[in-house]
Amino acid sequence: MKSQNSSPIAGINPVTASTQPDLIVELHSILEPLDLTALFPNGRPLEVELGCGDASFLVNDAELHLDRNFIGVERLLGRLRKLDRKGRRAGLVNLRGVRIESSYFLKYLLPAHSAAALHLYFPDPWPKRKHWKKRLVNERFPEIALRALAPDGVLYLRTDDRNYFEQMREVFAAHAAFRPVETPADLAGLLTDFEREFQKRGVQTLRAAYRRG
Ligand SMILES: C[S@@+](CC[C@H](N)C(=O)[O-])C[C@H]1O[C@@H](n2cnc3c(N)ncnc32)[C@H](O)[C@@H]1O
């Protein structure tokens, strides 16, 4: 029997972007975990980008991997609206955005061990020493990532800030549940909005990735 979805490509919605529903998730409760099967009934592997900004990376990644589902987490509504516009223009049904703080999302809203990958690219570096305590990746973050990741799940990190990069490496080196892995070349080639701007100015991207054992 012919599927109702007449798109030749699984994952691409045949309806036009203007009629496609909003990709920004309306949170009915911030006390209950998200119902992922309601968001993505196909149950495909889930990837989450924390602080997705203008979402160019995530939209490109979602277009390239229609066999996976993607959630962008971002605290600024204006930026999340860009995810919505870009995703709908591309007809994506494997992408959603959630407006919330990243560590809260990982601790309380994302069902435990549900993410095949976490992407954290160019998180605010808080360069002044007195502000380092505000950094997302601190000594508590590996435990939070561990709760979020499925067995064998991978956390991918990028930053332009050398001091923050060293802190990232130190906190993950100190956690027995993670081992360092390479970032695949095709993933590294998918640039974020900030990264594109940094590259124009000759600023190097520092990358690390950790697999859950
Ligand atoms: C420096 S920008 C990088 C954006 C994007 N990842 C990129 O590389 O183009 C950091 C983004 O993370 C968001 N952000 C910072 N801290 C956050 C937090 N704790 N929770 C959610 N979003 C956060 C900011 O609003 C901003 O959009």
Find the catalytic residue in 22, 35, 67, 124: 124
Q: Give the CA dihedral 206, 125, 146, 177, nearest 10 degrees.
A: 50
pLDDT at 26: 94
Q: Which domain holds residue 174?
A: 40-212
Q: What is the CATH number of the domain that holds 184?
A: 3.40.50.150
22 lines ligand 1 (CB under 6 A): no
- pLDDT tens, N- to C-terminus, the chain (213 residues): 333 333 333 444 444 444 567 999 999 899 999 999 999 999 999 999 999 999 999 999 999 999 999 999 999 999 999 999 999 999 999 999 999 999 999 999 999 999 999 999 999 999 999 999 999 999 999 999 999 999 999 999 999 999 999 999 999 999 999 999 999 999 999 999 999 999 999 999 999 999 998
pLDDT at 213: 82
Total domain count for the chain? 1
Residue 178 Cα, ligand 1 centroid: separation in angstroms?
24
79 lines ligand 1 (CB under 6 A): yes
* 14 in any annotated domain: no
* 80 in any annotated domain: yes
Partners of 165 in the beta sheet? none
Active site residue 124: yes
* 112 in any annotated domain: yes
Quickly count: other Cβ atoms within 10 Å of residue 1's Cβ.
3
Q: Whose alpha carbon is nearest atom 17 of ligand 1?
A: 51
114 lines ligand 1 (CB under 6 A): no
Atom of ligand 1 nearest to the CA of 123: 10
Structure-token pair, residue 154 = 């991978």
* 63 in any annotated domain: yes
143 lines ligand 1 (CB under 6 A): no
C-alpha span between 52 and 59 (Å, rounded): 10
Atom of ligand 1 nearest to the CA of 49: 6
Structure-token pair, residue 72 = 């962008």
76 lines ligand 1 (CB under 6 A): yes
**pTM of the model as a whole:** 0.92
